[in-house]
Amino acid sequence: MDSSQEISAWLSKFGDVLLRNDTSGVLKLFLEEECYWRDYLAFTWNLLTCESKNEIAQMLEETLQRTEAEHWEIDGTATESGGVVEAAIRFENPIARCRGYLRLREGKCWVIVTTLWQLKGHEEQAGPFRPPGVVCGAVKGRKTWLQIKKQEELELGHCKQPYCVIIGGGQAGIALGARLKALGVPTIIVEKNAKPGDTWRNRFSTLNTHTPLWADHFPYMNFPSTWPLFSSKDQMGDFLECYVKLIGLNYWCSSECKSANFDEKEGCWKVLLENKKDGSVITLRPVHLILATGSSGFANVPRFKGEESFQGVQVHSSKFHSGEGWEGKHCVIIGAGVSAHDICQDLWEQGASQVTMVQKSSTTVVGQLTILQPPPNEDEINASTSAVENFDMLMFSVPYKLLTRFQVPLYEQIAKADKNFYDRLTKAGFKLDFGEDGSGLYLKLLRRGGGYYLDVGASELIASGEIQVKSGVSVQEIRAKSVLFTDGSEVAADLIVYATGYKNMKEFIAKLISQEVSDKVGLIWGLGSDTQNDPGPWAGELRNLWKPLAHPNLWIMGGPFSQSRQMSRFLAIQLKTRMENIPTPVFWPDCHTRPQALSSKKLTT
């Protein structure tokens, strides 16, 4: 039996026992010592991973009878490596077409991923389901596309209320807005900047993407084939502005959300917006409110003794625009993550006489070309929307708990292969790590576990001494023209940049809605890994992102480009089903922390 036949045979047995609602029969098909079932909406109307037979059994007992999943088939061909047979799969239930991924060891399931991919009768108006556009023939009183668009703009938010309001118009808000547009969900995106893309344009001049083009495509639209592998911040700003126009999103620029309150009696939000151009105020009443202001909240600016006496310029990295104008000056950058490295490099390139990075704790550094090897089908991904979706499914195929196991050997290889690179950084006084458990950069990002940097040039400047490093020390005092450190050393300073990151997004919820709601929702982002900045208990999936929260009709959308594209699908489906009054009973396992407002195992919308 070849690999594809093995997958197909397993799926046939699996489908049979599911249709019989035979939980014990299902469990016999899974490995005894270790097995995982990752489900995105298809069974649970949640985003979660069951990490044992006991957890899988609980999930099936609560969801199996109502799910009615059938027609399980292999999607493409299977592969085999190291005793693991794997393949993409597809199946259906009464309301949706679903996709997934399966890994078998010794003929039994090690990992299965099930995702609700497309609602039947409510398909995204894209590809084969695209709208017809202009209809041939004579139509009395026909309105042009432009007339329809202008009428929608005049009505939505005024005489017609949106079903959804998205606060934040960066890549996450735009990606979700595009999905909702394709699903026919009336949505307004609220952005305080003057134009789409300004969230990128307004950052420091040398900012660029650190992830490659093939990972960053947007829903329904890939970057042009002439686009560079890594985009500058201004190119990205232009792309986002064009994307908003081409997709036809209702994007309200220069609008700031001043407050949001949920009216339980009416079942909708009261969202107060101020137009920053003329000061006018409007109240929107959406059913659902989505916060897409970034996975972090407000800028985290430390306070130091003597800071008020400083005669130079102090600025958080989010407000730093360019190294121009700092030629011949002494610059101190507090922090050692991505922004700190980029800003140090920018200042050095623009001729600053001395650039000093203050590194309080160790940083994970990986060479850009070392870690970002293109997938075998890079050309296909760049050319095809379906190939992007296949790439996304492959990314879903590894549960986070397994990802740690996969990443540790990878970073052991990187440490060995790039030993000279790391030795030179260490000799320069730079403190290095690969995360608390050696799992590297990506998991450190997910856990908010401290500094990391995908090297695009600053590391060589550090290793060669062009960028000075003060590591393992803290700022004791800021003086008129210098910074004094806890080891007694002092560095001259005309500019201090605080590249010290951001507070958790729950701080934003507290300001916008209330402290009570913020406390209910809890921490956003992180896996509960009990590592730095990621307290337990273990959650298995990222906390409070893209899924139901403890507060009704409130959602969090966030993530870098690839995550925004991938997860916008599932959040948009959850919102569409609620708009169409399709039952969405949310399952929460006993072993995981659940939102307070979702304390029942069997839940309705």
Q: Residue 511 sits in a domain of what CATH number? A: 3.50.50.60
| CA 471 to each of CA 333, 359, 422, 599: distance values in angstroms, whole numbers, following the listed order | 12, 4, 15, 46
Predicted model pTM = 0.93
- Give the pLDDT confidence score for residue 442 in this predicted structure: 87
Q: Which of 344, 341, 365 is nearest to 423 (CA)?
A: 365
pLDDT band at 379 (very low <50, low <70, confident <90, very high): low
How many CB atoms sit inside 10 A of residue 169's CB? 28
Same domain, yes or no: 164 and 252: yes
List pLDDT tens digits, range 212-243.
Answer: 888 899 999 999 989 988 899 999 999 999 99
- Give the pLDDT confidence score for residue 367 in this predicted structure: 85
Same domain, yes or no: 507 and 444: no
pLDDT band at 208 (very low <50, low <70, confident <90, very high): confident
Helix 171-182, helix 233-247: angle, nearest 10: 20
- Give the pLDDT confidence score for residue 605 in this predicted structure: 30
Same domain, yes or no: 42 and 106: yes
Same domain, yes or no: 517 and 494: no
Three-state secondary structure of 354-404: EEEEEECCCEEEEEHHHHCCCCCCHHHHHHCHHHHHHHHHHHHCCCHHHHH
Q: What percent of the chain stands above pLDDT 90?
A: 75
Mean pLDDT value across residues 164-189: 97
Same domain, yes or no: 514 and 495: no
Instruction: Name the token pair of 152.
Output: 């929608």
User: Which residue, 67, 96, 119, sits at the end of a domain?
Assistant: 119
Phi, psi torsion values for 284, nearest 5 degrees: -100, 150
List pLDDT tens digits, range 408-435.
Answer: 999 999 999 999 999 999 999 999 999 8
Instruction: Name the token pair of 467.
Output: 């960028």
Q: What percent of the chain stands above pLDDT 70?
A: 94
Rounded to whole angstroms, how far apart are CA atoms 88 and 127?
Answer: 21
List pLDDT tens digits, range 42-61.
Answer: 999 999 999 999 999 999 99
* CATH code of residue 67: 3.10.450.50
Same domain, yes or no: 321 and 438: yes
Same domain, yes or no: 340 and 449: yes
Mean pLDDT value across residues 20-24: 95
Q: Look up residue 191 and give its amino acid.
A: E
Same domain, yes or no: 362 and 424: yes
User: Which DSSP string do the residues of 93-129 spell out, in sequence order?
Assistant: ETTEEEEEEEEEETTEEEEEEEEEEEETTS--SSGGG
Whether residue 381 has pLDDT greater than 70: no
The mean-pLDDT minimum among 202-206, 258-262, 383-387, 494-498 falls in 383-387
Contacts for 409 with CB less than 8 Å, ≥ 6 apart: none
Same domain, yes or no: 424 and 325: yes
Same domain, yes or no: 228 and 111: no
Q: Which of 386, 439, 387 is nearest to 415 (CA)?
A: 439
Q: Which residue range(s) make up the domain with 485?
A: 309-368+414-500
Rounded to whole angstroms, how far apart are CA atoms 103 and 5?
Answer: 13
Q: Are 179 and 173 in contact (CB under 8 A)?
A: no
List pLDDT tens digits, range 105-156.
Answer: 999 999 999 999 999 999 999 988 988 887 778 888 888 888 988 999 899 9
User: Which residue, 468, 500, 532, sits at the end of a domain?
Assistant: 500
Torsion of CA 512, 514, 519, 525, to 10 degrees: -10
C-alpha of 377 from chain center:
23
Q: Are 268 and 579 in contact (CB under 8 A)?
A: no
How many CB atoms sit inside 10 A of residue 69's CB? 21
What is the C-alpha radius of gyration for the chain, rounded to an integer number of angstroms?
Answer: 25
Same domain, yes or no: 28 and 164: no
Structural domains in the chain (count): 3
- Give the pLDDT confidence score for residue 193 in this predicted structure: 94
User: Which residue, 467, 485, 500, sits at the end of a domain?
Assistant: 500
